[in-house]
Structure 1
Amino acid sequence: MDDMLDERQDDATLTVKIAQQDPTTVATRTISDAIDNVNVLVFDGQGHLIGSAYASSSPTSVSVPVRVSSGCTICAIANTGSSSYFDGISTFAELQAKVTPILASATALGAKSNEVLYGTIPGVTLSSGANTQAVTLRRLYSKYTFTITPSSDIVITGYQLCNVPNECCIASGNTSNPTTGFAGLNYDAVATSVYAGTTVTAGTYYIYENLAGTNSASNTAELRTSANAPNGASYLLITAKGYGYNGGWTSIYRVYLGGVTNAVSPVVDYTNFNINRNFNYQCNIVISGSGANDVRVTYSPTTSTRTNVYFGDATVGTYLYSDGTTGTTKTGHTVVGIVFSNQLSSAEYSAGYRHGYALALTDVSGNPTWGPYPGDAGLTKVTTFADYYNDITAGYYGTFTKGYNKSNGSYPAWQAANNYNVDVSHFTNSGWYLPSIGQWWDVCANLGKVDLISQQNSNSGNSTLYNGSTATTNVNNAIVAVGGIALASDYYYWSASEYDTYNAALVSFLSSGIVLSKFYKNYLAYYVRPVLAF
């Protein structure tokens, strides 16, 4: 009888009211997650389970049968989707060790696929009869949005979120990550139509709490390096390249996350690499240089042995569209050319063409002569491979300064190239013109994907530039893939480069190799394929 009376005196009920806290405001936007279902677990002062309940259908409160006790800890977990999710849990320590399932793929972190919410109230006294307690739920993850702003001479080419946890402890208050398992989101290439100075917004990503730790040696932004970062610290990897006069370089920047340790008025702690749960981070990253002398940056210079060359920001092999943007797909676009170089002559760069060169997809009609024979066109004469390689200026200079253009019938090949009937009037560009022999060289090396560096200083002339079928095959495959017509394999193409008063430089794309040569300017048999700067 006495035992039964004691048991009745120990009976109590607990109504847990469910609320939800917006994330710590490190950005202006909030995250909104619906509460679909809730598990409530109640532990006594010794950490033993004394009551539990499950409620579905978007509950705002949960009724839990419990025992009279003091020093209790009330835990509420939303959105597990299962009344049996915590079966086997009998102590608070076991709950603290419980982790979310490992995500099926790293990309799920960008889709907010696991929206478990957790809240706890410690030190609660449960009296006989009815008890009420409110519990505020918080997310296990934080939201990250990255804004990357480069200076006007830098183009962002890609980014990758690295070393993010693939699981998380459900209960808060842990001091380290639950496992050593980390993942990385797939490399995100920035759209190829993004040019220098363009701000890129990366994300949004939802990242589990990452308690990587701290390092007192990392007490400035410059010291947040891979050498000082704790194992498992998350970071954003950014790739960028420079352009301009002799400005060719590529760099990889590592920006370590975490370091914000206060809610209302964010406090930056450079020694802290933790990503806390339920934060809403907006990371504004400014890149104003190559980072050549910054240990956080992997810097690679890109040089050219040509003189007076400017580096544009176009990507070789991409397609030039009729609106002036570039990309890698034909779908939804009108393609007018294919990018074969990002090295521009100083005259073209100064005229406002800051991206690169594009090759037309088809030849002009007919086989026009080059120009007067004999006759000096007033262009720099090229007689060796070294001369050929360095001349990327003759076509633009001859067309737009010397006047060998669509109105000049004395220079038929030039006239035909400048009169090429593919419309490029909707964006800033030079207009079509006859390519210099150095531009043909770049078509061979860049679209052909072959190494011609050893030939750039050669005194050879009028001979084979490249032996084998690889270059011609690759060039033609690239042109045909975008709907163009392969280069003719039976004869030569005119270049704008002048050999002497009698001859102009030529190129031939053969199945057996690439040949550079010269022939009489009045020869009526060679092909013309225009180029433009944009």
Structure 2
Amino acid sequence: MDDMLDENKDAATLTVKIAQQDPTTVTRAISDAIENVNVLVFDAQGHLVGSAYASSNPTAVSVSARVSNGCTVCAIANTGSSSYFDGISTLTELQAKVTPALASADALGAKSNEILYGTIPGVTLSSGTNTQTVILSRLYSKYTFTITPSSDIAITSYQLCNVPNECYIASGNTSNPTTGFAGLNFSAVATPVYAGTVVNAGPYYIYENLAGTASASNTAELRTAANAPSGSSYLLITAGGTGYNAGWTSTYRVYLGGVTNATSPVLDYTNFNVNRNFNYQCNIAIFGSGANDARVTYQSQGTRANAVTGTATPGTYLYSDGTTGTSGTPPAGTTVVGIVFSNQLSSAEYSKGYTHGYALALKDASTGTSWGPYGVDAGLTKVTTFAGYYNDITAGYYGTFTKGYNKSNSSYPAWKAANNYNVDVSGFKNSGWYLPSIGQWWDVCANLGKVDLTSMQASSSSYGNVYSTGTATTNVNAAINAAVGGQALTSSYYWSASEWSPGNAPRVHFYSSGVALDYRSKDGTDYYVRAVLAF
């Protein structure tokens, strides 16, 4: 009996009033409905001493707890379940709880009841009834961009990249969850090509991204890919000159963050964090090509249309865990699976999340096979000149993964062999192996061969040498041979995935006196196959 009386003396009831952060706070004004709430109360030692769940748009929740000092009251809205926090018995365990992973970058924008979180520390629970107000805030932020080019520059596309697919539910953490950072990308958006047109991008809703800080990035000009912490989010903008300013295309990488998470945020160039519950409004002005700006990838006349520049460095080696490096000998626990030959990807592949570049396989997938049936239109864009060859970096990916010329299609043997190349790349995000387009072979020659092919990019020739000494072939094969397991290109023709006509397909020949491009009948059976992938 005495024990029961003592227990009753220790009983406390906490009424938690639920409120949202003041929507008049300009920097943080994003609205969400509160449909249900979980409340968890922890004592000064971080042990759970009470919990409750309320549904049907609650404005207050009653929690039975124990008399205690220094309590932490946590409220979480819109989990949709009274059992969402089952198994959590300490504050530390709650602080390790992560949101469900998003399937796509824009999934947050489709929701009206995303999880909200609020906490009050240092609460004293007295015997009887106590009242405490907890203000809930969002786990994500809203981003909008206004991109203003000068009158002779046209914005051609933009894309928000490398945003989190999850975040901690509790606030106060200092880094992203260790369970994984998917680095999701919103779909690339093509814009009308009118010089001087202001582009309004967004709104985008993205989870808190605690990428960290970089002391070297203490000015706007130093917020570069080389200085940014791993996992930083950024807006990628492609633009080009028009009229008298024509002849170039540049990709501008604008990193997010740059302000503190203080009540009155201040500018901090070293800060790459995207804090939760902010309404970020960014104004970006583009006045030139950025040819000498480290934040910009500049390309002169002949730049491909609908291509996006990724983060990889051509000439580096791709390892089986998705990392790259300059050594052909892989780090412990990995293998070399390819060699990076370009960081310019098709916009379709970039939109799928392959944001680094292209890698060439180290070995042949076939030593002699046909391209496909003669006289049958494969439904690919026809390329019949060097200019067309250069611009086609899309046929292999499109033909393999959209048209179905893949490992199961025996009517297209070269495609089947490339897609069936048996080097395991399951350890990182990539497209899978496929037959390279002729424009990708062009980049193998230019980037791994270390030769300048700019003068050939607008050529109307349909066959002949794209480069006329043995330098390119020597350099390409030296780079491949330097990798463990590397096998040099043979002195024979290799099929490309591009299509010249219903009866013919372009091919490439790396030989001792140059690199030749031409086209041959699709049913020819003595041409080699080497695969590529996007990552």
- Asked if TM exceeds 0.5, the reply is yes
Structure 1 residue 470, shift from structure 2 partner: 6.7
Indicate how the Cα distance of structure 1 residues 219 and 24 shifts in structure 2: closer, same or farther if over 3 A, else same.
farther
Indicate how the Cα distance of structure 1 residues 451 and 268 shifts in structure 2: closer, same or farther if over 3 A, else same.
farther
**Alignment correspondent of 1:8:** 8
Distance in 2 between the 1:263 and 1:183 partners? 26
**Alignment correspondent of 2:238:** 239
Structure 1 residue 235, shift from structure 2 partner: 0.7
Q: C-alpha offsets along residues 424-469 of structure 1, whole Å, 9 cap, x if unaligned?
A: xxxxxxxxxxxxxxxxxxxxx99x9968998xxxxxxxxxxxxxx9
Distance in 2 between the 1:254 and 1:127 partners? 55
Q: Note if contact 1:25-1:280 (Cα within 8 Å) is conserved in structure 2.
A: no
**Alignment correspondent of 2:195:** 196
Taking the TM superposition and a 5 Å limit, the aligned residue runs for 1:92-491 are 92-112=91-111, 115-179=114-178, 180-191=180-191, 193-245=192-244, 247-262=246-261, 265-302=264-301
Distance in 2 between the 1:98 and 1:314 partners? 44
Range with greater deviation from structure 2 (102-111 or 164-173) = 102-111
Indicate how the Cα distance of structure 1 residues 230 and 284 shifts in structure 2: closer, same or farther if over 3 A, else same.
same
Structure 1 residue 185, shift from structure 2 partner: 2.1
Q: Note if contact 1:23-1:280 (Cα within 8 Å) is conserved in structure 2.
A: no
Q: C-alpha offsets along residues 354-393 of structure 1, whole Å, 9 cap, x if unaligned?
A: xxxxxxxxxxxxxxxxxxxxxxxxxxxxxxxxxxxxxxxx
Structure 1 residue 303, shift from structure 2 partner: 6.0
Indicate how the Cα distance of structure 1 residues 222 and 136 shifts in structure 2: closer, same or farther if over 3 A, else same.
same
The one-letter code sitting in structure 2 at the alignment partner of 1:98 is: K
Structure 1 residue 257, shift from structure 2 partner: 0.4
Q: C-alpha offsets along residues 94-137 of structure 1, whole Å, 9 cap, x if unaligned?
A: 00000001012223144347610000000001000000000000
Q: Note if contact 1:213-1:230 (Cα within 8 Å) is conserved in structure 2.
A: yes
Structure 1 residue 182, shift from structure 2 partner: 2.6
Q: Which has the larger radius of gyration?
A: 1
Structure 1 residue 265, shift from structure 2 partner: 4.1
Range with greater deviation from structure 2 (34-43 or 178-187) = 178-187
Taking the TM superposition and a 5 Å limit, the aligned residue runs for 1:24-43 are 25=25, 30-43=29-42
Q: C-alpha offsets along residues 257-316 of structure 1, whole Å, 9 cap, x if unaligned?
A: 011115554311001111111000001111111000000000001169xxxxxxxx999x
Q: Secondary structure at the match of 1:93?
A: helix
Q: Secondary structure at the match of 1:290?
A: coil
The one-letter code sitting in structure 2 at the alignment partner of 1:173 is: G
Q: Note if contact 1:17-1:60 (Cα within 8 Å) is conserved in structure 2.
A: yes
Q: Secondary structure at the match of 1:245?
A: helix
The one-letter code sitting in structure 1 at the alignment partner of 2:201 is: A
Distance in 2 between the 1:285 and 1:205 partners? 16
Indicate how the Cα distance of structure 1 residues 110 and 121 shifts in structure 2: closer, same or farther if over 3 A, else same.
same
TM-score, normalised to structure 1's length?
0.56
Distance in 2 between the 1:451 and 1:143 partners? 52
Structure 1 residue 22, shift from structure 2 partner: 4.0
Structure 1 residue 161, shift from structure 2 partner: 1.2
- Kindly indicate whether residue 73 of structure 2 is the aligned counterpart of residue 65 of structure 1: no
Indicate how the Cα distance of structure 1 residues 254 and 221 shifts in structure 2: closer, same or farther if over 3 A, else same.
same
**Alignment correspondent of 2:316:** none
Q: C-alpha offsets along residues 191-235 of structure 1, whole Å, 9 cap, x if unaligned?
A: 3x3411111111111111111111111110000011111111111
Structure 1 residue 188, shift from structure 2 partner: 1.9
Q: Note if contact 2:32-2:112 (Cα within 8 Å) is conserved in structure 1.
A: no
Indicate how the Cα distance of structure 1 residues 150 and 26 shifts in structure 2: closer, same or farther if over 3 A, else same.
farther
Indicate how the Cα distance of structure 1 residues 24 and 45 shifts in structure 2: closer, same or farther if over 3 A, else same.
farther
Indicate how the Cα distance of structure 1 residues 259 and 36 shifts in structure 2: closer, same or farther if over 3 A, else same.
same
Question: 5+ residue gaps in structure 2?
Answer: 307-456, 467-497, 504-520, 522-535
Structure 1 residue 26, shift from structure 2 partner: 5.9
Structure 1 residue 256, shift from structure 2 partner: 0.5
Distance in 1 between the 2:146 and 2:294 partners? 22
TM-score, normalised to structure 2's length?
0.56
Count residues in correspondence.
325
Indicate how the Cα distance of structure 1 residues 267 and 49 shifts in structure 2: closer, same or farther if over 3 A, else same.
same
Structure 1 residue 147, shift from structure 2 partner: 1.1
Indicate how the Cα distance of structure 1 residues 123 and 108 shifts in structure 2: closer, same or farther if over 3 A, else same.
same
Distance in 2 between the 1:172 and 1:152 partners? 44
Q: Note if contact 2:148-2:198 (Cα within 8 Å) is conserved in structure 1.
A: yes
Structure 1 residue 154, shift from structure 2 partner: 0.8
Range with greater deviation from structure 2 (217-226 or 254-263) = 254-263
Distance in 2 between the 1:200 and 1:81 partners? 38
Q: Note if contact 1:25-1:281 (Cα within 8 Å) is conserved in structure 2.
A: no
Q: Note if contact 2:104-2:184 (Cα within 8 Å) is conserved in structure 1.
A: no
Q: Note if contact 1:75-1:120 (Cα within 8 Å) is conserved in structure 2.
A: yes
Distance in 2 between the 1:449 and 1:303 partners? 15
Q: Note if contact 1:43-1:50 (Cα within 8 Å) is conserved in structure 2.
A: yes
Indicate how the Cα distance of structure 1 residues 239 and 71 shifts in structure 2: closer, same or farther if over 3 A, else same.
same
Q: Note if contact 2:149-2:197 (Cα within 8 Å) is conserved in structure 1.
A: yes
Indicate how the Cα distance of structure 1 residues 135 and 449 shifts in structure 2: closer, same or farther if over 3 A, else same.
farther
The one-letter code sitting in structure 2 at the alignment partner of 1:105 is: S
Indicate how the Cα distance of structure 1 residues 266 and 45 shifts in structure 2: closer, same or farther if over 3 A, else same.
closer
Sequence identity (%): 76
The one-letter code sitting in structure 2 at the alignment partner of 1:217 is: A
Structure 1 residue 190, shift from structure 2 partner: 2.2
Q: Secondary structure at the match of 2:170?
A: coil
Q: Note if contact 1:26-1:282 (Cα within 8 Å) is conserved in structure 2.
A: no
Q: Secondary structure at the match of 1:3?
A: helix
Q: Secondary structure at the match of 1:165?
A: coil
Indicate how the Cα distance of structure 1 residues 236 and 246 shifts in structure 2: closer, same or farther if over 3 A, else same.
closer
Distance in 1 between the 2:195 and 2:502 partners? 32
**Alignment correspondent of 2:18:** 18
The one-letter code sitting in structure 1 at the alignment partner of 2:211 is: A
The one-letter code sitting in structure 1 at the alignment partner of 2:81 is: S
**Alignment correspondent of 2:82:** 83
Distance in 1 between the 2:24 and 2:266 partners? 12
CA RMSD in angstroms, aligned pairs only:
3.2
Distance in 2 between the 1:182 and 1:72 partners? 35
Q: Secondary structure at the match of 1:283?
A: strand
Indicate how the Cα distance of structure 1 residues 6 and 181 shifts in structure 2: closer, same or farther if over 3 A, else same.
same
Q: Secondary structure at the match of 1:5?
A: helix
